[in-house]
Amino acid sequence: MTGSSAARPIRLGTRGSALAVAQSSQVAEALRAASGRPVELVEVVTTGDRSAAPVQRLGVGVFVSALRDALLGREIDVAVHSYKDLPTEPATGLVIAAVPERADPRDVLVAAGGVGLAKLPVGARIGTGAPRRMAQLNALGAGLTCVPIRGNVDTRLRKVESGELDAVVVAAAGLQRLGRLTEVTEFLDPDVVLPAPAQGALAVECRVTDAELTATVRALDHPATRAAVLAERALLATLEAGCSAPVGGYATVMNGVLSLRGVVVTLDGSTSIRRLGTGTPADAESVGRRLAAELLDAGADSLLESAR
């Protein structure tokens, strides 16, 4: 590394929400340690940040494209994304240099009065912006009313505090990174609500041409997390389902075996198809593609079509 590049701060691009800044700050701290260089956060406003419309209406990549444009335009050197927000197609000229160790991938319930999911009364209003969560909550047959919401973590939790909603379902990882896990009423078992593919994982992206910086960023990579996320996203890509589709996918790596669970659910929860696939971490993407093929053979395509 040259003396001039060693002295220059690494510009790390991030969205401006409290959660995005918190997770990007964690990456920045690790990158400082790995590189020995200062790292400065550069806030980038995305389409998703400027609009209150549902994500499924805005389209895939609404929280990503502005960061990628800034990276390609050399306004920043590194971009940090919530991995589940990334389109499944690779971006020309960019490489995901690191996938740090994943935070808790589960969904969590935050409910008024501290009650768990099973104790919510019939008709209880649960806020969530994700069709995947709505579909799986509807599949419980508990008579819960799912209310579409958007906004940052504070906005969502305030809807419970104010009595507007009885509960919200959010990602555990977000509350973990914000230091707010004490507000969780219940961690939802993946057998009940399967997480979104790549939930809880971050993607640290660099320009392909920045070989030296990319090699430095790779020190942040967590191989088991990368393998799990590759399997989950291969499942999503093969199903040709975007990040807002009612699809859950969750992989774990234990003792050299990668296990991947996948589910496709109709929005009303009346029909669901679940399958399990296994393989090696080195074969992660193939595991995802095979599991998607099994789901499609079982009729997942018609369920996804009804959701569209």
Q: How far apart are CA 82 and CA 219, in angstroms?
A: 19
Residue 176 has pLDDT above 60, yes or no: yes
Model pLDDT for residues 9-48, shown as the tens digit of each residue: 999 999 999 999 999 999 999 999 999 999 999 999 865 4
CATH number of the domain residue 235 falls in: 3.30.160.40
Phi, psi at 32, each rounded to 5°: -60, -45
pTM beyond cutoff 0.85 = yes
Q: Is the same domain home to 206 and 97?
A: yes
Q: Note whether residue 136 is domain-resident.
A: yes
Q: Is the same domain home to 215 and 236?
A: no
Q: Note whether residue 193 is domain-resident.
A: no
Q: How far apart are CA 134 and CA 267, in angstroms?
A: 7
Q: Is the same domain home to 282 and 174?
A: no
Domains in the chain, number:
3
Q: Is the same domain home to 160 and 237?
A: no
Residue 275 has pLDDT above 50, yes or no: yes
Residue 182 has pLDDT above 90, yes or no: yes
3-class secondary structure, 221: coil
Q: Is the same domain home to 56 and 130?
A: no
Q: Tell me what percent of the residues of the chain surpass a pLDDT of 70.
A: 91
CATH number of the domain residue 80 falls in: 3.40.190.10
Q: Note whether residue 192 is domain-resident.
A: no
Q: Tell me what percent of the residues of the chain surpass a pLDDT of 90.
A: 84
Model pLDDT for residues 50-105, shown as the tens digit of each residue: 444 444 443 445 679 999 999 999 999 999 999 999 999 989 999 999 999 999 99
Give the pair of three-digit tokens for residue 70: 């800034």
Q: Note whether residue 296 is domain-resident.
A: yes
Q: Is the same domain home to 69 and 10?
A: yes
Q: Which residues span the domain enclosing 247?
A: 231-307
pLDDT interval class at 245 (50, 70, 90): confident
Per the annotation, the verdict on 283 as an active-site residue is no
Which residue among 77, 85, 104, 166 is the active-site one? 85
Q: Is the same domain home to 84 and 205?
A: yes
Q: Note whether residue 86 is domain-resident.
A: yes
